[in-house]
Structure 1
Amino acid sequence: MAESQSTLSDQFLQFAVEKQVLRFGEFKTKAGRMSPYFFNAGLFNTGSSLQRLSEFYAQTLMQKAAERGIQFDMIFGPAYKGIPLVAGTSMEMARLGHDVPFAYNRKEVKDHGEGGTLVGAPLEGKVVIIDDVISAGTSVRESVNIIRASGAEPAAVLIALDRMEKGVRDGTDTEHSAVQEVEQHYGIPVIAIANLADLLRYLLTQSANVRLAGWYEKVKEYRSRYGV
């Protein structure tokens, strides 16, 4: 039986904290903001942590696709971080009885062997893009162009964490988040294992945790200033 999304989100956040992928302190973001938390999916860097992370991706995708009527035929991982994510998610989905093809791209064009920039299954039908986060949306834009150039159709984007905060353009806060801009521009849904609202809910339950106590108010203040 599939776990509820709230349970999945809480378990994922707990897992990220344990692996020190999700940290609390003072961190400067790409937008130049001082954030009380930082998330770096690249620190899921062992076999066991990647396996567990893949479980979260696979279960979230299957649950959200069923709830929101998202149909897809395969999954795609943009180079470089998306490559282990799409491979791991594909294996976990197969273990759960949903064997779907996957593909990824390489940054450099290969001029020998099979050639080209794509590796894996041919891009066909409806494709879910799998990545860690959406910051400026560059990776999604490149992925959408690759998918459409192959005659396939982007169906959704699946990420680990949605920060739910305003984007920045020319040094000015935008009205929408990077995730919202992707949804509006490409007309496809973005699914996240957890988002900032989930993080606040999680922190609210951690008042007895010495490492996490006190961060709820700081993250809440950050959201009130930069959130969408």
Structure 2
Amino acid sequence: MTTTDTDLAADIDATCRLTGEFTLRSGQVSNEYFDKYLFEADPQLLARVAREVAQLLPAEVDLLGALEMGGIPIATAVSQLVGIPVVFVRKKAKEYGTAKLAEGPAFAGKKVVLIEDVITTGGAVRDATNALRAGGAVVETVICAIDRSPGEENPLADVGLQVRAVLTKAELDAARATA
């Protein structure tokens, strides 16, 4: 298992797995959906996920990059645990005020580890990576709560990102099978 919290997969699965017909960000249609907001809204589950994410951080990190919107609660909780500041990354730059893509501390020249809730194809992470790199950030790693990407291939290899996951879809499926 990816996580050291042996009950986490079963608890996340019981809380978050929905069945039906769902269109994912990628446009793919799925008969199940992991509603990550259900665990992010639960303080105990969020704290458990944050502890696991903190254990997956690389040795050298200047900033956590919280992807809008699901990565924000996780990254904020991790930040409180480890004392690393967070930059909040929007899907697109604001069209008013500061017109920033990323809010928080300056990230140019900094090692940023992206934090995301669920990765399937990695589209939002890919977009954020490209935008942060264009702004001078060093982005090499993304940590997600749930990796539901198909197969064993890294969906973000094309942008040179290492994906680290607290839980994989296979682990959630195994937890469901033993429940």
Task: Please say whether Structure 1 and Structure 2 have the same fold, judged by a TM-score greater than 0.5.
Answer: yes
- Contact residue 110 and residue 117 of structure 1 kept, 8 A: no
**1:39 corresponds to which residue?**
34
**1:137 corresponds to which residue?**
122
**2:142 corresponds to which residue?**
157
- Contact residue 77 and residue 105 of structure 1 kept, 8 A: yes
Counterpart AA for 1:191: R
2:101 aligned counterpart, secondary structure: strand
Shift of 1:204: 4.0
Counterpart AA for 1:193: V
**1:83 corresponds to which residue?**
72
Note the aligned Cα RMSD (angstroms): 2.7
Whole-angstrom distance in 2 between the partners of 1:103 and 1:157: 14
Counterpart AA for 1:146: A
The number of equivalent residue pairs is 174
**2:9 corresponds to which residue?**
13
Shift of 1:155: 2.5
Q: Report the more deviating stretch, 116-125 or 190-199.
A: 116-125
Whole-angstrom distance in 1 between the partners of 2:167 and 2:53: 12
Query: 5+ residue gaps in structure 2?
Result: none
User: Which residues of 2 match residues 20-99 of structure 1 at below 5 A?
Assistant: 21-23=16-18, 25-28=19-22, 30=24, 31-33=28-30, 35=31, 37-44=32-39, 46=41, 49-50=42-43, 52-57=45-50, 59-65=51-57, 71-91=60-80, 93=81, 98-99=82-83
**1:105 corresponds to which residue?**
89
Give the TM-score, by structure 2 length: 0.79
Shift of 1:156: 0.9
Counterpart AA for 1:199: L
Segments of 4+ moved more than 3 angstroms: 4-7, 25-30
Q: Bigger radius of gyration, 1 or 2? A: 1
Structure with bigger helix share is 1
Query: 5+ residue gaps in structure 1?
Result: 167-175, 207-228
Q: Give CA deviations for 1:91-116 in whole Å, capped at 9, x if unaligned.
A: 2x2xxxx210111134342543x552
Q: Which has the higher contact order (CA 8 A, sep 6+)?
A: 2
Q: Give CA deviations for 1:111-145 in whole Å, capped at 9, x if unaligned.
A: 43x55232112114211111111233221122112
- % same residue: 24
- Contact residue 55 and residue 89 of structure 1 kept, 8 A: no
